[in-house]
């Protein structure tokens, strides 16, 4: 393999470049990025950067050591595969031949119908522009009470805005962790002075606010839409790669054509752990997946067996999640869910499948290790917050 192209200038892209060099790849290496910025970290965009504590999250990358050609502001527009392997990445700046390809184009925010201005939060420009709009007293309406919606609401309330969050589901985080656990977070909004309106559907974003499906209206100075993202796949249509909500890969992150791997938010990878395909649109997958993708691209045996993990900082709380809770047969609380720190644990028999923790980082760390090893646990010990999770393991 003499020429590898990495398409996507985010965390998954730069980590893929680093992993390829670390594993001994010596050939030509090109990073194609639609953004003009050097690769930067995205989680702080909705946290420290949005409230103004920091202004730059660029990774400290030794480009000379990586010997990587960086093509900023270059957007991939198509992919032509050769039957025997390799092919051409078409871009708005010309064609780029390759014999190894890493697809790391991430995801793009979903927007709503309407003619009014709506903000999303995905890039550093989005964050800086939104921060300027979070003026004291400004009426800020956020559509979506998921992870991003809660974090933006936290930042806006901290900056003195009058904040309203509208959510189509009956509780916050309903799609992420279910209505039972999501409902436990609803009081956090009120405690922060944020108005939460659930069961409300938006018809359109109009100048000056929202039109609701029931004909009502909510006036706003700023409208922020946080209703999810979709993998960036348009440039791959017609390429022959298998796509199904993401770039379909095996457990080694290999796509359906030789010499092609996919990683990060756009990869729909086969999980041997859960026996199904997963699309994990979170920082941890972009951080750790590239090591496996690079190994697979270079012909090594590697399997991505990660336990899905993500975190959120909202309303003065650290919320962390690990695992895949739809696999669980039952859920038990660890501590009082109305108290300052607690956890929810999903189990199948004596196996811990997933856990969500609120201000209990040690539980998350120990629980994630238990999930990874598949070690049986005692349910009564799991439910006792005074017993370290590691001591709930059956020996």
Q: What is the mean pLDDT of residues 55-83?
A: 96
pLDDT at residue 322 is higher than 90:
yes
Supply the pTM of this predicted model.
0.95
CATH of the domain at 147: 3.50.50.60
Q: What is the mean pLDDT of residues 170-185?
A: 94
pLDDT, tens digit, 9 for 90 and up, residues 110-121: 999 999 999 999
Helices (H), the chain: 11-22, 48-51, 63-66, 124-133, 147-158, 174-177, 179-184, 186-191, 283-297, 361-373, 379-383
Task: Tell me, yes or no, whether 309 lies in a domain.
Answer: no
141 shares its domain with 216: yes
User: Rounded distance, CA 182 to CA 178, Å?
Assistant: 6
**To the nearest whole number, what is the mean pLDDT of the chain?**
96
Contact 381, 390 (CB under 8 A): no
Res 274: pLDDT: 86
pLDDT, tens digit, 9 for 90 and up, residues 233-270: 999 999 999 999 999 999 999 999 999 999 999 999 99
pLDDT at residue 329 is higher than 90:
no
Q: What is the mean pLDDT of residues 40-51?
A: 94
Task: Tell me, yes or no, whether 124 lies in a domain.
Answer: yes
pLDDT at residue 84 is higher than 90:
no
Res 191: pLDDT: 96
β-bridge mates for residue 164, sequence order: 141, 195
74 shares its domain with 40: yes
Task: Tell me, yes or no, whether 261 lies in a domain.
Answer: yes
117 shares its domain with 217: yes
User: Rounded distance, CA 287 to CA 134, Å?
Assistant: 30
Least confident of 28-37, 214-223, 322-331, 362-371: 322-331
199 shares its domain with 68: no
370: Cβ–Cβ under 8 A, 6 or more apart, which residues? Answer: 352, 377, 389, 390, 392, 393
CATH of the domain at 388: 3.30.390.30
Strand order in the sheet with 309-314: 309-314, 317-323, 351-358, 342-348, 330-334
50 shares its domain with 96: yes
Final residue of a domain: which of 225, 240, 257? 225
Confidence of residue 325 (pLDDT cuts 50, 70, 90): confident
Task: Tell me, yes or no, whether 381 lies in a domain.
Answer: yes
Final residue of a domain: which of 297, 324, 343? 297
DSSP string for residues in 226-283: -S-EEE--GGGTTSS--BSSSEEE-TT-B-SSTTEEE-GGGEEEEETTTTEEE---SH
58 shares its domain with 205: no
268 shares its domain with 322: no
Task: Tell me, yes or no, whether 137 lies in a domain.
Answer: yes
Domain that holds residue 165: 111-225
- The total domain count for the chain is 3
203 shares its domain with 240: no
Final residue of a domain: which of 169, 191, 225? 225
Task: Tell me, yes or no, whether 51 lies in a domain.
Answer: yes
376 shares its domain with 336: yes
12 shares its domain with 84: yes
181 shares its domain with 251: no
Give the dihedral sign, CA 48/50/51/55.
positive
pLDDT at residue 327 is higher than 70:
no
Task: Tell me, yes or no, whether 308 lies in a domain.
Answer: no
Task: Tell me, yes or no, whether 304 lies in a domain.
Answer: no
290 shares its domain with 323: no
């Amino acid at each position: 393999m003499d020429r590898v192209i990495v398409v996507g200038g985010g965390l998954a892209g730069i980590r893929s470049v680093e992993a390829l060099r670390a594993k001994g790849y010596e050939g030509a290496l090109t990073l194609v990025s639609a953004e003009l910025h050097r690769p930067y970290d995205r989680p702080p965009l909705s946290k420290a950067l949005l409230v103004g504590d920091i202004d730059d999250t660029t990774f400290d990358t030794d480009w000379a050591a990586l010997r990587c050609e960086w093509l900023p502001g270059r957007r991939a527009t198509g992919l032509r595969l050769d039957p025997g392997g390799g092919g051409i990445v078409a871009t708005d700046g010309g064609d780029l031949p390759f014999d190894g390809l890493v697809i790391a184009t991430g995801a793009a925010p979903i927007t709503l119908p309407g003619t009014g201005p709506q903000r999303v939060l995905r890039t550093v420009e989005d964050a800086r522009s939104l921060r300027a709009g979070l003026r004291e007293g400004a009426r800020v309406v956020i559509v979506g009470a998921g992870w991003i919606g809660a974090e933006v609401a936290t930042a806006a309330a901290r900056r003195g805005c009058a904040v309203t969050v509208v959510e189509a589901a009956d509780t916050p985080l309903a799609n992420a962790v279910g209505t039972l656990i999501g409902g436990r977070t609803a009081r956090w909004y009120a405690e922060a002075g944020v108005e939460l309106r659930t069961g409300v559907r938006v018809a359109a974003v109009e100048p000056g606010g929202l039109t609701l499906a029931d004909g009502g209206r909510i006036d706003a100075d700023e409208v922020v839409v946080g209703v999810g993202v979709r993998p960036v796949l348009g440039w791959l249509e017609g390429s022959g790669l298998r796509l199904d909500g993401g770039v379909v890969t095996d457990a080694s992150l290999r796509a359906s054509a030789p010499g092609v791997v996919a990683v990060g938010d756009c990869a729909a990878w086969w999980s041997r752990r859960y026996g199904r395909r997963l699309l994990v649109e979170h920082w941890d997958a972009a951080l750790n997946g590239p090591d496996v993708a690079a190994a697979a691209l270079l012909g090594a045996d590697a399997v991505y067996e990660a336990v899905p993990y993500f975190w959120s900082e909202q309303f003065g709380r650290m919320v962390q999640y690990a695992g895949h809770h739809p696999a669980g047969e039952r859920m038990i609380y660890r501590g009082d869910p109305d108290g300052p720190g607690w956890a929810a644990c999903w189990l199948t028999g004596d196996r811990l499948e997933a856990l969500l923790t609120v201000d209990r980082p040690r539980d998350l760390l120990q629980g994630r290790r238990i999930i990874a090893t598949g070690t049986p646990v005692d349910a009564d010990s799991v439910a006792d917050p005074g017993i370290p999770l590691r001591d709930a393991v059956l020996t």
